[in-house]
Amino acid sequence: MRVQGEAYRTIWPRADGAAATIIDQTKLPHAFVTTDLGTCADAEHAIRAMLVRGAPLIGATAAFGVWLAMRRDASDTALDEAHRLLLAARPTAVNLRWALADMAATLGPLAPSARADAALARAVALADEDAAINAAIGDHGLAVFRERWRAKGERGPLNVLTHCNAGWLATVDWGTALAPIYKAFDAGMPVHVWVDETRPRNQGAALTAWELLNHGVPHHVVVDNAGGHLMRRGQVDLCITGTDRTTAKGDVCNKIGTYLKAVAAADTGVPFYVALPSPTIDWTLDDGDDIPIEERAAEEVTRVTGRTDGGALATVALTPAGSPAANPAFDVTPARLVTGLVTERGVCPASTEGLAALFADRAA
């Protein structure tokens, strides 16, 4: 998508073929900095230190990391070592494991002399596949947006509320929940986005706002408390979020606070959609309440980092010293509150039957 008028992805091979280039997302939204990854160790660091984030982008970065390793030493030992190093960077990331397994299966059978070129080709292909999946989610979501737009008589902006960042920065391109928004904007629909701040890590205020600002999409940042009020007053035409994990019956595990917006949407008659690439569906799990919820550090709640008027980053405490905080990172939105799941194959009801109809080849 666009940054300062230029088209970007989140990762790409440098034109001279000597590095992969990424956007250093730890600098966002206050500075736009790209960084070259020249070695596998650079890629490992980018993943571990969260210069890149979002499951699909982590997977793509690992694939490019294997390529960078093969450029230096394409032996079996070096291939194994790159795999081991990169996998340990974010041990719980499913896409990371999957991308590394793909690279190992592609490169293992080849002669070492053929591995570097094959690794680059495969890493580029994996990145292209992710962009294509998200573009397809965007197209299917666009059809939903068009229907809502017609239903409101094509008058005024189409007001879309989103939570957290399920945008192109979390993927290779397009994003998931934001893909239909970009498709709609690029198609000339007057879309306007309510961007939930998304405490405690502020991915909405920082990343979603930055994406929309740079692509030129009209938006307002709002605190997480505001969405219910906006829905009650008719200022939201639909909600769309991403998901970290979706169960076989359509329960959605996503960033903390998603459930509150879904239950308010149901109470006010606002459609609530969830966008997802099908690999994030957990076909082995039915009930979302069986998903353990990660409890993260209290400091994410009690402290916040931002830019001072002087331009430096500073971290400030928001709570009195001595007050403890709790920090559940995700919540579960029951399928009954989800109007539809927007996947790369189309839109389906959030139900066992809905998902099975779209994914008959994959469902258990």
Q: Which residues are catalytic?
A: 244
- Residue 287, phi then psi, degrees to nearest 5: -100, 120
Single-letter amino acid code for the residue at 291: I
CA distance 250 to 180: 20
Question: For residue 38, which of 10, 67, 76, 75 has the smallest C-alpha distance?
Answer: 67
Residue 285 makes contact with its own copies by CB under 8 A: no
Is 157 a residue that touches its own copies (CB under 8 A)? Answer: no
326 part of the interface to its own copies, by CB under 8 A? yes
Least distance from its own copies to the Cβ atom of residue 219, Å: 7
Rule CB under 8 A: choose which of 150, 269, 324, 361 binds its own copies: 324
Asked if 297 touches its own copies (CB under 8 A), the answer is no
User: CB count, 10 Å around CB of 231?
Assistant: 24
Respond yes or no on whether the N-terminal peptide bond of residue 29 is cis (omega within 30° of 0): yes
Both tokens assigned to 22 = 């990424």
Nearer to its own copies, 143 or 314 (CB): 314
Q: Residues 112-141 vs its own copies: string with x where CB under 8 A?
A: ------------------------------
CB-nearer residue toward its own copies: 140 or 219: 219
From candidates 75, 314, 353, 362, binder to its own copies by CB under 8 A: 314
Q: Minimum CB separation from its own copies for residue 286, in Å?
A: 17
Contact present, 166 and 175 (Cβ < 8 Å): yes
Selected from 67, 194, 272, 273, the binder of its own copies by CB under 8 A is 194
* Residue 216 makes contact with its own copies by CB under 8 A: no
Contact 183, 139 (CB under 8 A): yes
227 vs 195: CA distance, rounded Å: 9
User: Alpha-carbon distance 183 to 144, whole Å?
Assistant: 11
Question: Using CA of residue 341, residue 141, residue 56, residue 161, what is the dihedral sign?
Answer: negative
C-alpha span between 329 and 111 (Å, rounded): 45
> For its own copies, which is the closer residue by CB, 41 or 222?
222
If one asks whether residue 270 binds its own copies (CB under 8 A), the answer comes out as no
Residues at the contact surface with its own copies, assessed by CB under 8 A: 28-30, 194-195, 197-200, 202, 205-206, 209-210, 212-213, 219-230, 232-233, 255-257, 259-261, 263-264, 267, 289, 293, 301-309, 313-320, 322-328, 330-332
